């Protein structure tokens, strides 16, 4: 048990370095973790020997090492996001009769990673590997709504950044900003006929340990089906919250 506190400090140090845009000084690490600088130096030296951090002597700073990258790469090779989300999507489809998707942002597009649909469901364009403009999809807007405003502005700087499929959807930065604000406050995104005429979707975001959006879970049904969007959205939100928990993430506080 004597090794547990040291292991915890080492993991906290790795997580701190992973959230920085570049290498940082030992002084900054000590201040962030609330540890004596002598303890931080001991941790850094031990972790450097194992390859988890690297020292940049000219800059007097420390950054992540190759071993940390290798672990991150191994994590991605195991497809954890899809593996953790698939049972949730299967359950949603079985219980709601809707087509369920797992989506992520790829630049200004929604990229669909998983799709579960009920028997005899109509064919939808939103297949695995398909990319669609994020501002038109519930999946994409559920994620955009939780990005920093500067990042959204960079993705959609002018009205020329917006395309349409059915003549519906936000067409300017101000329209998108207003829509994302409303959807962030209500906790889910909804689109009606913006991707495919006659179909509606709701989506909610799942978050990582920093409270940043990493994926969205969406449900799509024919618009004529007598189901209120709020009721369907509640199911998507519950599933997204469970995915957040499985990822070791945290849901950010409403702003």
CATH code, domain carrying 207: 3.30.450.40
188 and 130 within one domain: yes
The pLDDT assigned to 121 comes to 78
Q: Are 100 and 201 members of one domain?
A: yes
pTM, rounded to two decimals: 0.71
* Residue 252 located in a structural domain: no
**Looking at the predicted structure, is the pLDDT value of residue 149 above 60?**
yes
Q: How much is the pLDDT for 218?
A: 97
Indicate if 192 and 118 belong to the same structural domain: yes
Section 90-96 average pLDDT: 95
Report helix, strand or coil for 46: helix
The average pLDDT across 105-129 equals 87
Number of domains in the chain: 2
Query: What band does 78 get if pLDDT is binned at 50, 70 and 90?
Result: low
Structural domain includes residue 253: no
The CATH number of the domain holding residue 49 is 1.10.10.10
Q: Are 44 and 53 in contact, with CB atoms under 8 Å apart? A: yes
Residue 144 domain-assigned? yes
- What pLDDT score does 57 carry? 86
Asked if residue 48 and residue 158 are part of one domain, the reply reads no
Together in a domain, 118 and 241:
yes
Answer yes or no: is 47 within a domain: yes
Considering the domain architecture, whether residues 191 and 96 belong to the same structural domain is answered as: yes
Does 3 score more than 60 pLDDT? no
Co-location of 83 and 125 in the same domain: yes
**Span 145-167, average pLDDT:** 92
Q: Tell me the pLDDT tens digit for each residue of 28-44.
A: 999 999 999 999 999 99
Give the pLDDT of residue 232: 92
Q: Are residues 239 and 203 in the same domain?
A: yes
The last residue of a domain, from among 74, 102, 133:
74
Residues 214 and 230 in one domain: yes
Question: Would you state the pLDDT for residue 19?
Answer: 80
pLDDT at 76 > cutoff 90: no
Report the distance separating Cα 244 and Cα 248, nearest Å: 6
Confidence grade of residue 21 (pLDDT, cut at 50, 70, 90): confident
Mean pLDDT of the chain: 89
* Of 74, 89, 106, the domain-final residue: 74
- Percent pLDDT > 70 in the chain is 95
- Could you give the C-alpha distances from 200 to 95, 98, 111, in angstroms and in order? 18, 10, 18
**In-domain check, residue 26:** yes
- Given a cut of 50, whether residue 1 has pLDDT beyond it is no
> Under a CB-based contact definition with an 8 Å cutoff, are residues 164 and 136 in contact?
yes
Residues 85, 194, single domain; the answer is yes
User: pLDDT confidence of 243, banded at 50, 70, 90?
Assistant: very high
Q: Which own/partner pairs from 32-41 qualify as long-range (CB within 8 Å, at least 24 positions apart)?
A: 33/9, 35/9, 39/9, 40/13
Residue 50's domain comprises 4-74
Evaluate if residue 88 carries a pLDDT over 90: yes
Strands 53-56 and 61-64: antiparallel
Residue 4 has pLDDT above 60, yes or no: no
194 and 109 in a single domain? The answer is yes
Task: With respect to residue 90, please indicate whether it lies within any of the assigned structural domains.
Answer: yes
Q: Mark whether 109 and 21 lie in a shared domain.
A: no
User: Does some domain include residue 255?
Assistant: no
Tokens of 102: 């797992």
44, 74, 104 - which closes a domain = 74
The per-residue pLDDT for 2 is 43
């Amino acid at each position: 048990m004597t090794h547990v506190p040291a292991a915890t400090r080492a993991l906290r140090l790795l997580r701190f370095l992973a959230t920085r845009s570049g290498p940082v000084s030992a002084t900054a690490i000590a201040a962030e973790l609330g540890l004596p600088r002598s303890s931080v130096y001991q941790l850094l030296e031990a972790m450097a020997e194992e390859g988890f951090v690297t020292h940049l002597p000219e800059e007097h700073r420390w950054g992540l090492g190759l071993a940390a990258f290798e672990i991150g790469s191994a994590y991605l090779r195991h497809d954890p996001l899809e593996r953790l989300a698939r049972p949730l999507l299967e359950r949603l489809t079985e219980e709601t009769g809707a087509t369920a998707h797992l989506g992520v942002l790829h630049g200004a597009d929604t990229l669909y990673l998983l799709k579960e649909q009920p028997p005899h469901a109509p064919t939808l364009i939103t297949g695995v590997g398909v990319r669609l403009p994020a501002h038109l999809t519930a999946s994409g807007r559920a994620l955009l709504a939780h990005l920093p405003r500067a990042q959204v502005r960079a993705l959609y700087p002018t009205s020329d950044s917006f395309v349409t499929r059915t003549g519906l959807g936000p067409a300017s930065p101000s329209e998108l900003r207003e829509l994302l604000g409303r959807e962030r406050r209500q906790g889910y995104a909804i689109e009606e006929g913006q991707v495919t005429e006659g179909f509606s979707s709701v989506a909610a975001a799942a978050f990582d340990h920093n409270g940043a959006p990493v994926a969205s879970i969406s449900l799509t049904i024919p618009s004529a089906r007598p189901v209120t969007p709020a009721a369907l959205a509640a199911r998507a939100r519950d599933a997204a919250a469970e995915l957040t928990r499985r990822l070791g993430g945290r849901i950010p506080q409403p702003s």
